[in-house]
Amino acid sequence: MEETGVMGFGQILSAMGDGILWIFTNIALAFYNLGYAIWHWSSWLDWSDKTAIMRFVYYGGSTEFFFVCFTTFLLIFLVGLWKNQFLWNMVIGMEFFGNWIGRFFAWAGLLMVLQQVVIVFMQRIFTRPDIVLGIGVPIQFDISWYAEELKLYNAMVVCLCLTYTFIQGGHVRVDLIYASVSFRTKRMIDMIGCMIFMLPLAVMIWLYNWFFMWRSLIVPPVSPSDQLDRLEMKARALRWNVETIGFSPNGFTGYFLFKILMVIMVALIFIQAWAFFYRSYLEWKEGPESEGKYLDKDVLEQGEEPYDHAEF
């Protein structure tokens, strides 16, 4: 029994060693893979070639692509250990990107309201079954198409404003011990949370969403288990087959856009997870006086504060 236990422990150590070696090997290969992708860009970006499309699909969900992204952000962090201001600049840029995207697409909420008003007027007052837009060649869709299309605006607000809300501190946090610990302990918790929860979850959702999106755009269907050689063989039968099936006969036909939005959302989460990790490290290093440093946070004007309690 003791001998079996020792062998089992040895196998665990061997597996851990193999895993660590695999990680460092892929980090080293990331430089070669990135250079190869840039130098041979036409092999995966020239979509006049069906094989290039399949290569693009494969690399988007591949180990190689993950380690190129991971190594890039890791190098930024390593340089930031030496030059803190460089890392602050990266935080400012990444948070600006998330804020700009969120503030811009938040206007989709207003479009959703205005379109709903137009739909009500067209149905109840003008009793029209459709809405025609355009000059010269009109674009005509049934009222039910516009009614279902309202979901797209809602999806844009959710997917593209999610990281903006995170930067602004607008998400609900379940606090068990966080509020009672010291400032630097909080930052340690934030860094560990980024590495253990945010980044792995973003990668996992990306892998599912990436192939889920492409299955609504092309045939034959692709799968995360397909290797590159198998996808290149499928390229012979490849054709665009954009999903335009609605939930009703005259309903919205662009549901593939929701799948594209999900992929963009996960990419934004991945970027902001690193930005939050960088900020947490810098605030941990510089102390409480650096809390919220360079943070572009929206400030409510006098009279715009939200009510915490409704009074009747």
Are residues 170 and 220 both part of a single domain?
Answer: yes
Report whether 232 contacts 51 (CB < 8 A): yes
Are residues 121 and 34 both part of a single domain?
Answer: no
Report whether 263 contacts 174 (CB < 8 A): no
Are residues 241 and 170 both part of a single domain?
Answer: yes
Are residues 45 and 135 both part of a single domain?
Answer: no
pLDDT in tens, the chain (312 residues): 444 444 577 788 788 888 889 999 999 999 999 999 999 999 999 999 999 999 999 999 999 999 999 999 999 999 999 999 999 999 999 999 999 999 999 999 999 999 898 888 887 777 777 776 666 666 777 788 888 889 999 999 999 999 999 999 888 877 788 888 999 999 999 999 999 999 999 999 999 999 999 999 999 999 888 899 999 999 999 999 998 877 777 778 888 999 999 999 999 999 999 999 999 999 999 999 999 999 988 876 665 555 554 443
R_g of the chain computed on alpha carbons: 25
Neighbouring CB atoms inside 10 A of 55's CB total 22
Closest by CA position to 97, among listed 275, 291, 290: 275
Q: Does 312 map to a domain?
A: no
Backbone angles phi, psi at 110, to 5 degrees: -70, -40
Q: Does 297 map to a domain?
A: no
Are residues 152 and 70 both part of a single domain?
Answer: no
Q: Judging by beta carbons within 10 Å of its beta carbon (0-12, 13-18, 19+), is residue 259 exposed, middle or buried?
A: middle
Report whether 196 contacts 31 (CB < 8 A): no
Q: Does 189 map to a domain?
A: yes
**Euclidean distance between CA atoms 168 and 166, whole angstroms:** 5
Report whether 76 contacts 87 (CB < 8 A): yes
Q: Does 174 map to a domain?
A: yes
Q: Does 3 map to a domain?
A: no
Are residues 62 and 188 both part of a single domain?
Answer: no
Q: Does 238 map to a domain?
A: yes
Report whether 250 contacts 146 (CB < 8 A): no
Q: Does 59 map to a domain?
A: yes
**Euclidean distance between CA atoms 218 and 214, whole angstroms:** 6
3-state secondary structure of 40: coil
**Euclidean distance between CA atoms 56 and 222, whole angstroms:** 12
Are residues 77 and 141 both part of a single domain?
Answer: no
Q: Which domain-ending residue is among 30, 53, 82?
A: 82
pTM attached to this predicted model: 0.88
Are residues 277 and 150 both part of a single domain?
Answer: yes
Cα angle at 253 between 247 and 255, to 5 degrees? Answer: 85
What is the number of structural domains in the chain? 2
Question: Sign of torsion, CA 106 108 109 110?
Answer: positive
Backbone angles phi, psi at 37, to 5 degrees: -65, -40
Are residues 65 and 197 both part of a single domain?
Answer: no
Are residues 245 and 121 both part of a single domain?
Answer: yes
Are residues 174 and 212 both part of a single domain?
Answer: yes
Q: How far is CA 235 from CA 223, 227, 261, in A?
A: 13, 13, 25
Q: Which domain-ending residue is among 58, 82, 106?
A: 82
Q: Which domain holds residue 28?
A: 17-82
Structural tokens at position 18 = 């193999």
Q: Does 228 map to a domain?
A: yes
Report whether 59 contacts 260 (CB < 8 A): no
The structure tokens 């009614």 sit at: 147
Report whether 30 contacts 67 (CB < 8 A): yes
Are residues 249 and 210 both part of a single domain?
Answer: yes
